[in-house]
Structure 1
Amino acid sequence: MRDTLHVSAGASSLLEGRTGAAYAPRMPDDEPTLVSAGPQRKLAVILAADVAGYSRLMERDEDDTHERLQGLLRDVVRPAVETHRGRIFKTAGDGFLAEFASAIEAVRCAVDLQRGTAERNKDVADDRRLVFRMGINLGDVLADHKDVFGDGVNVAARLEAMAEPGSVLITHSVHEHVDRKLPLQFVDQGECALKNITRPIRVFRVIWETADSASTVRGGPDDEPELPQVASIAVLPFATLNSDADQEYFAEGLAEDLITDLSKVDGLLVIARHSSFAYRDRSMDLRMIARELGVRYLIEGSVRRAATRVRINAQLIDASNASCLWAERLDRDLADIFALQDEVVGKVISALAHALPTAKPLPKRRVTDLEAYDLFVRGRALATQSLRETRAARPLLARAIEIDPGFAGAHAWLAMSHHFDALYYGEPIGEHRAAARTAAAKAVEIDPENADAHIVLGYLRAYEGEFEAGVAEFEQGLRLNPNHSAGWAHLADLRVFEGRATEAVECAENSFRLNPYPPGDHYSFLGWAQYAAGRYRDAVETLRHPQAGGPGSKRNLAAALAQLGCIEEGRAAAREFLSEFPNFSARQWGKTQPFRNDADRQHFIDGYIKAGLPE
């Protein structure tokens, strides 16, 4: 895994100060000591930075890495901060924190630091380079002459942990002060969930021109994007002409159905909904979107639904040269919506004939009642979200089935809803699994080509003792839809149980290719597979990612840290896990897991016990 998939040891240690939210004072030795009346509140711009992969570099050559970092701080960092009227108020291992009175000066400083660091790296081997990640936030802080602390600082530190090596992320509050005032580009990353920050934070990535071809920061929007030449596509969320909830659900449903249908086209790589829909309401160059998603083709458009009519404006873009391969406005009766979806897919396949010479039109879908379809679209949008929403999905899906008992998709997503509840929300697990299995089996009976149903049914059968049959069912789902990112992530889970850890890692990594902005459980599955493969350091980096989620993340992080000899850190992670699951027993857990080999089961149990989890 890349070095970006963790909160660094330096940043993590900085976040362990006063009550876990503030920073313990630590000043450079030459800073004079003054008497203070106590901390005061003020607005400040905070820049947080650390070196990506510092632990790996120290492990390789501790003396050399330490000496080079001190030189970088002395020759590049401190002069740049002083030039831009900032103050370093904390250093810790591989990172530092600085405050500025001006957002413009803070961003200028960050870019100058990245440029200066890149210049020093020109003659350094790739695996020895010191590369900073940076996050900048403007917020209310508590400060005295020694220290700055509080929520405004924490947000900057969490933002830095999300940044790619060599890049700078800023919050919306900073963007408001620097947009159009600096010769830089700001790419909207949408609202992001930061670890231990309760509210979502809107984030922007800073782009600047650079002559360093090895830099991870790309140039301006007019640069030619580096896009894959394979047939790869993303369906962007369709725009609506107003904010009416019915319009939005309907537009999302059409786009998601297109993703599902295109995923079944032989030879076409299709990005998952979770990632392509992340670009909703963002004004970005299409080539930038394609580059970030790693695709060559994009579908975008708009939907207008009025009374008994629907209008779709859609176009297919080749992002390698910004050319439009196909564009059309389609006006139809609402009752013809299913035929309309088939028509759009057929036109896309025809337009990509040069890239997909062997692709054939998909079989026509069975016409479904429009009221049932509306209920299905709403239910599907809720089915795999929070506890409240996944349960709110079930009455909608059940009503869709009442209206049209032969609606395979509604049965499949009803199964998904119960399966999601069993996986993440617990009791009564048995009832949810039974309901999920019944619904999935019904969906497969109605439509043997429904990949979602095969995948859910296979997962349940594997966990209920029919392991080989379950894996076969699962693999059939992925043959029907090889672009099912969640399917690949869950297959990684089953490969671990089979004792095929290396393949498990490959499956999980494939899920990231199909879903570059995945839900948190994808990180959990990848970290689980990496631990099984003995890649403990990779597992720690993955499971420390701010987006990592799912009950297993903290448990497996604790085990991986313990296996690396980081016993205290492992026990701290174990305590966090036990605060949520106080009745956990490593051996009892092992008895419930369908490992084919006892040695693989024991490998996890040993790690949990070593981390201090109850035996």
Structure 2
Amino acid sequence: MRYLFEDYTFDTDRRELHRETDAVSITPQVFDLLDYLIRNRERVVSKDDLIKAIWNGRSVSDAALTTRLNAARGAIGDSGEQQRFIKTLPRKGFRFVGQVREARDVAGPNPGDAPESAPAVPDKPSIAVLPFANMSGDPEQEYFADGMVDEITTALSRFKGLFVIARNSSFTFKGKAVDIKEVGRRLGVRYVLEGAVRKASGKVRITGRLFEAATGTHIWADRFERDMTDIFALQDDVTLAVVSAIRPKLFQAELALASRRRPEDFTAYDLYLRAIQQIGPATREGLAEGLRLVQRALELDPRFAAAAALAGACHAENVVRNYAIDPRFERKEAVRLMRLALSLDDGDPDSLATAALISALMIGDCETEIEMSDRAVALNPNSYRTWNCRGWVYKIAGQPEEAIRSFERAMRISPVDLQQFTVLTGMGFALIELRRFDEAISAGKKAQRHNPCYPGPYRCLASAFAHLGRDAEAREAAARMLEIDPAFTISAWIARSQLSKTAKLMIKGFRKAGLPE
């Protein structure tokens, strides 16, 4: 087993700790201490637990234990003051609180989180677009390079003759030296595109290389350069070249269909890219900054539909995640911006899917929302976002079987997605309503391992455990959830959104688990 957190790889088989590609010196006892804390990261570990596990129950002084803990923290760039990874809970014990991903299939410090089994390669041409290197000499331009990859991936995904891996899975390889064959195996694709972006002196240059994944054979390479004002034409150039290399007979007309309606103001587009980068982790601070940036983009280009949809999603997230200071205002803004996005462009799949989910959460007009989400996946069946949103829409509409099918499709499109905890949580919620409680627990545990700081999986676990009469585990999951969301009450959760409308068994489980009314 390998555990990955930030830029560290903790290999339990080789008993090695790496920071990126560099080995970190660590004594056997400190390694065992870290191993025990990471393996038991779902709970608080007491001093007695550590002594029993590491010292076989021998008498150990507090000073000796503190010394080993400090050594463990030091090995992973932590300290007693920061406690980024190992947190001390006074009079209770210790807990590993870093976000950990597990990798089973590949030995050594490789990027990404390997799926439990490699997905099958689809019959039709399939491709993953790896993160492009930022060659601008300015780390602050990283968001721009990422944005170029995002746009090219989106454009490729609109070709219904292709199967395209979502960017979140491709981005698990960011900043790492990769084996093209291994990328293809992990993601289940036939082709891999890699490249670099240079932005300087009013120009943008993109270099790209296309590989056949099974053999690692280099089959195409080219360089594209345009003025900054022609950025969208540059993206189309790259997309058409890649498609032509894979499917020479695809028509130019299909490329026109694949191109989204672009903003008129480049600065607005730049702000939009920055906002996406901020919003990704869905923290309170990130959503606030992302909303500020995307609002500025809308001021510069009031007809920028994707920006309106993103702003609406930020407001909806604030309501659902209990971040909102004024929930009534944020709810109204979410709906207003959703409607604005649809009035500007109701043919962009991702914006349409986002609008469907906002409406499902804030309004609850099931028939309309299902029609919108179905249309979004029809427009782009390769979009992770459209399938994920469709899953939540169908869950809220009281059709959990169809919700699960959508979530499964999303996970195939993005098999090692760092945001997969949201899909797994949705699956867990749907499984509870189908009384498939054991499967809901499995989904909840996987979601919790992907992101231990996200409250949704603990809600799923608390309810599912309670339905199975596993009261101690239900209470523990409820307590963990309340640590993350201390203001949670059942009534407040019901009032936040339409998510609770078809969650009768979920809510019944909450009550059995002893969550506050």
In which range does the TM-score fall when normalised by the shorter chain? 0.7 to 0.9
Query: Among residues 188, 191, 213, which one is paired with 2:110 in the alignment?
Result: 188
1:354-393 residue CA offsets vs partner (Å, 9 max, x unmatched) = 6979992234555733222222222222234322122212
1:371 alignment partner in structure 2: 267
How far does residue 579 in structure 1 lie from its aligned partner after superposition? Answer: 4.0
- Which has the higher Rg, Structure 1 or Structure 2? 1
Partner SS for 2:189: coil
How far does residue 315 in structure 1 lie from its aligned partner after superposition? Answer: 1.9
* CA distance 1:11–1:534, change in 2 (3 Å): farther
Contact persistence 2:166–2:413 (CA under 8 A):
yes
Q: Which structure is higher in helix share?
A: 2
Is 2:348 aligned against 1:465?
A: no
Contact persistence 1:272–1:514 (CA under 8 A):
yes
RMSD: 4.0
* CA distance 1:312–1:609, change in 2 (3 Å): same
2:210 alignment partner in structure 1: 316
Matches within 5 A, 1:54-453: 162-163=101-102, 186-189=108-111, 227-353=121-247, 360-363=254-257, 365-366=261-262, 368-385=264-281, 386-424=283-321, 425-453=323-351
1:25 alignment partner in structure 2: 52
Q: Which runs of 5+ in 2 are unaligned?
A: 1-34, 79-85
* CA distance 1:286–1:27, change in 2 (3 Å): closer
2:436 alignment partner in structure 1: 535
| C-alpha separation in 1, matches of 2:196 and 2:511 | 54
410-419 vs 284-293, greater mean Cα deviation: 410-419
Paired AA for residue 108 in structure 2: F
Partner SS for 1:188: coil
2:83 alignment partner in structure 1: none
Paired AA for residue 469 in structure 2: G
| C-alpha separation in 1, matches of 2:394 and 2:295 | 33
Contact persistence 1:229–1:296 (CA under 8 A):
no
Is 2:471 aligned against 1:558?
A: no
Paired AA for residue 574 in structure 1: A
557-566 vs 317-326, greater mean Cα deviation: 317-326
Structure 1 length-normalised TM: 0.65
| C-alpha separation in 1, matches of 2:394 and 2:340 | 26
* CA distance 1:338–1:158, change in 2 (3 Å): closer
1:491 alignment partner in structure 2: 390
Structure 2 length-normalised TM: 0.76
Q: What is the aligned residue count?
A: 458
How far does residue 394 in structure 1 lie from its aligned partner after superposition? Answer: 2.7
| C-alpha separation in 1, matches of 2:234 and 2:508 | 56
Partner SS for 1:315: strand
Is 2:424 aligned against 1:526?
A: no
Query: Among residues 451, 472, 477, which one is paired with 1:573 in the alignment?
Result: 477
Paired AA for residue 353 in structure 2: I
Contact persistence 1:409–1:443 (CA under 8 A):
yes
| C-alpha separation in 2, matches of 1:612 and 1:341 | 53
| C-alpha separation in 1, matches of 2:332 and 2:503 | 25
Contact persistence 2:44–2:95 (CA under 8 A):
no
Contact persistence 2:308–2:341 (CA under 8 A):
yes
Contact persistence 1:496–1:532 (CA under 8 A):
no
How far does residue 319 in structure 1 lie from its aligned partner after superposition? Answer: 0.7
1:387-424 residue CA offsets vs partner (Å, 9 max, x unmatched) = 21222123332332233332222222222322332332
Partner SS for 2:52: coil
Matches within 5 A, 1:495-510: 495-510=394-409
How far does residue 36 in structure 1 lie from its aligned partner after superposition? Answer: 6.0
How far does residue 561 in structure 1 lie from its aligned partner after superposition? Answer: 1.0
* CA distance 1:261–1:489, change in 2 (3 Å): same
Paired AA for residue 440 in structure 1: M
| C-alpha separation in 1, matches of 2:381 and 2:207 | 28
Partner SS for 1:388: helix
Contact persistence 1:375–1:397 (CA under 8 A):
yes
* CA distance 1:437–1:317, change in 2 (3 Å): farther
How far does residue 583 in structure 1 lie from its aligned partner after superposition? Answer: 5.3
* CA distance 1:43–1:610, change in 2 (3 Å): same
How far does residue 570 in structure 1 lie from its aligned partner after superposition? Answer: 0.4
Seq. identity, %: 29
Partner SS for 1:266: coil
Contact persistence 1:43–1:139 (CA under 8 A):
no
| C-alpha separation in 2, matches of 1:382 and 1:558 | 31
Partner SS for 1:283: coil
* CA distance 1:379–1:42, change in 2 (3 Å): closer
Partner SS for 2:108: strand
* CA distance 1:26–1:254, change in 2 (3 Å): closer
1:3 alignment partner in structure 2: none
| C-alpha separation in 1, matches of 2:266 and 2:128 | 26
1:211 alignment partner in structure 2: none
Paired AA for residue 518 in structure 1: L
Q: Which runs of 5+ in 1 are unaligned?
A: 1-6, 46-136, 142-149, 169-184, 193-204, 206-215, 219-224
* CA distance 1:509–1:358, change in 2 (3 Å): farther
How far does residue 255 in structure 1 lie from its aligned partner after superposition? Answer: 0.8
| C-alpha separation in 2, matches of 1:399 and 1:25 | 57
| C-alpha separation in 1, matches of 2:272 and 2:265 | 10
Partner SS for 1:544: helix
Partner SS for 2:124: coil
* CA distance 1:478–1:44, change in 2 (3 Å): same
Paired AA for residue 290 in structure 2: A
Paired AA for residue 188 in structure 1: N
How far does residue 301 in structure 1 lie from its aligned partner after superposition? Answer: 0.7
* CA distance 1:581–1:344, change in 2 (3 Å): closer
| C-alpha separation in 2, matches of 1:376 and 1:157 | 32
1:547 alignment partner in structure 2: 450
2:417 alignment partner in structure 1: 517
* CA distance 1:538–1:356, change in 2 (3 Å): farther
| C-alpha separation in 2, matches of 1:550 and 1:34 | 37
Paired AA for residue 410 in structure 1: A
* CA distance 1:534–1:518, change in 2 (3 Å): farther
How far does residue 342 in structure 1 lie from its aligned partner after superposition? Answer: 1.3
How far does residue 591 in structure 1 lie from its aligned partner after superposition? Answer: 6.6
1:290-323 residue CA offsets vs partner (Å, 9 max, x unmatched) = 2222222111111112212221111222212223
How far does residue 140 in structure 1 lie from its aligned partner after superposition? Answer: 11
* CA distance 1:416–1:478, change in 2 (3 Å): same
